[in-house]
Amino acid sequence: MPAPALFDRLAVLADAARGRVLLLLEDQEMAVSELCQVLQQPQSTVSRQLKALSDGGWLASWREGTSNLYRMAGGLDPAAAELWRLVRGEVAALPAARQDRQRRAAVLRARRARSREFFAESAGEWDRLRRELFGARAEAVPLLGLLDPAWTLGDLGCGTGATAELLAPFVDRVIAVDESDEMLAAAGARLAGLPGAELRRGALEALPVADGELDAAVLMLVLHHLPDPAAVLAEAARALGPGGRLLVVDMLAHDRVRFREEMGHQWLGFEPDRLERWLAVAGFAAVRVAPLAADPEARGPALFAATAARPAAARAAHDSQTSDVEPERTSAERSAGAPA
């Protein structure tokens, strides 16, 4: 550091009161009003000290709402850091600085008490407030960070790619499969530019996926559209490697017959024991079917989530003659970055 700059730093810290301020802000951001309480000084005095410290490069500040918050600047150069180390020891030994620490602890306790009061008053409304602030998916989507980032994950029956879009940032590769050209076109537009997102056209009963290519697979609200769910589950087992995981989200059994006519549903939901049998026949183990909590704003039937795993030492049964033919791809797949 050039000598004049060092002398400037010395001039700022020559005042013990400014040293006390810097000691308070060394590991904690504080507002001006809080510093006034701790230092027992008027706002005009505290503001002058903060300005001198800020101009001297000792403080960082930012605005939150109606308050300016201050904290000791990070990344001090070696000379400034050494200067503060020397001055700090002298300032910390002052009786006034010891009292500052006690008053600061009281101010921080009061800050936490205000937070507790807010939660006590808002407990009944907290879920609604959080949805308004952060959206309905703020809790669920970040949990995808628990996925193994090395996985190749299959979104089977991807539709417009909504699920693949959520999964892609958290795994190495997402292979999104659908039989509908229109759905793949929509998914291609949605997934364009997402690294690791790949579209493949094919039927779920004959997946365009190699044996054991997937580490995990998702069937998200698609099984009830298919005439032979058992065959689809068996095909998913073939595409999963040993230890691979399957997640099926679908409707519990219901009596809304109009769904067949209006939306082409093949099945009016599923009884858990029937799904468990299909998964067992397909070679899955560790099967678990759990009803999902109903969304009060949803108008459809109740949902379940079924999880299952391929045994670690087993491989799906398959034809020993594998095809070298590249799966058929659409222009939408190419636009999403799928290999040609």
Contacts of 184 (CB under 8 A, 6+ apart): 158, 178, 199, 201, 330, 332, 333
Contacts of 213 (CB under 8 A, 6+ apart): 152, 154, 175, 239, 241
Tokens (6 digits) for 101: 């620490």
Q: Please name every residue paired with 199 in a beta bridge, in sequence order, or none if there are none.
A: 176
Cα–Cα distance for residue pair 300/258, rounded to 1 Å: 12
In this prediction, residue 126 carries a pLDDT of 60
- First-residue to last-residue Cα distance in the chain: 57
DSSP string, 200-249: EE--TTS-SS-TT-EEEEEEES-GGG-S-HHHHHHHHHHHEEEEEEEEEE
How confident is the model over 3-28, as pLDDT tens digits? 447 678 788 888 899 999 999 999 88
Residue 300 backbone zone (phi > 0: left; psi -120 to 50: alpha; other: beta)? beta
In this prediction, residue 121 carries a pLDDT of 59
Q: What are phi and psi of 305, to 5 degrees?
A: -120, 125
Cα–Cα distance for residue pair 224/155, rounded to 1 Å: 16
Q: Give me the residues of the chain with pLDDT under 70, please.
A: 1-4, 6, 114-130, 136, 296, 314-340
Beta strands in 84-196 (DSSP E): 152-156, 173-178
Tokens (6 digits) for 192: 């364009």
Cα–Cα distance for residue pair 42/36, rounded to 1 Å: 6
Contacts of 135 (CB under 8 A, 6+ apart): none
How confident is the model over 96-147, as pLDDT tens digits? 998 998 888 888 888 777 666 665 555 656 666 667 777 767 778 888 999 9
Number of CB atoms found within 10 A of residue 137's CB:
10
Using only C-alpha atoms, the chain has a radius of gyration, in whole angstroms, of: 31
Whether 13 and 19 have beta carbons less than 8 Å apart is answered as: yes
In this prediction, residue 115 carries a pLDDT of 63
Tokens (6 digits) for 274: 């029937």
Q: Please name every residue paired with 248 in a beta bridge, in sequence order, or none if there are none.
A: 219, 306
In this prediction, residue 127 carries a pLDDT of 65
In this prediction, residue 246 carries a pLDDT of 98
Q: Please name every residue paired with 306 in a beta bridge, in sequence order, or none if there are none.
A: 248, 289
Angstrom CA distances, 9 to 200, 211, 213, 251, stand at 64, 68, 62, 68
Neighbour-count burial of 37, counting CB atoms closer than 10 A to its CB (0-12 exposed, 13-18 middle, 19+ buried): middle
Number of CB atoms found within 10 A of residue 193's CB:
9
pTM for this one? 0.59
Residues 89-118: b if buried by 16+ CB within 10 A, e if exposed:
eebeeeeebeebeeebeebeeeeeeeeeee
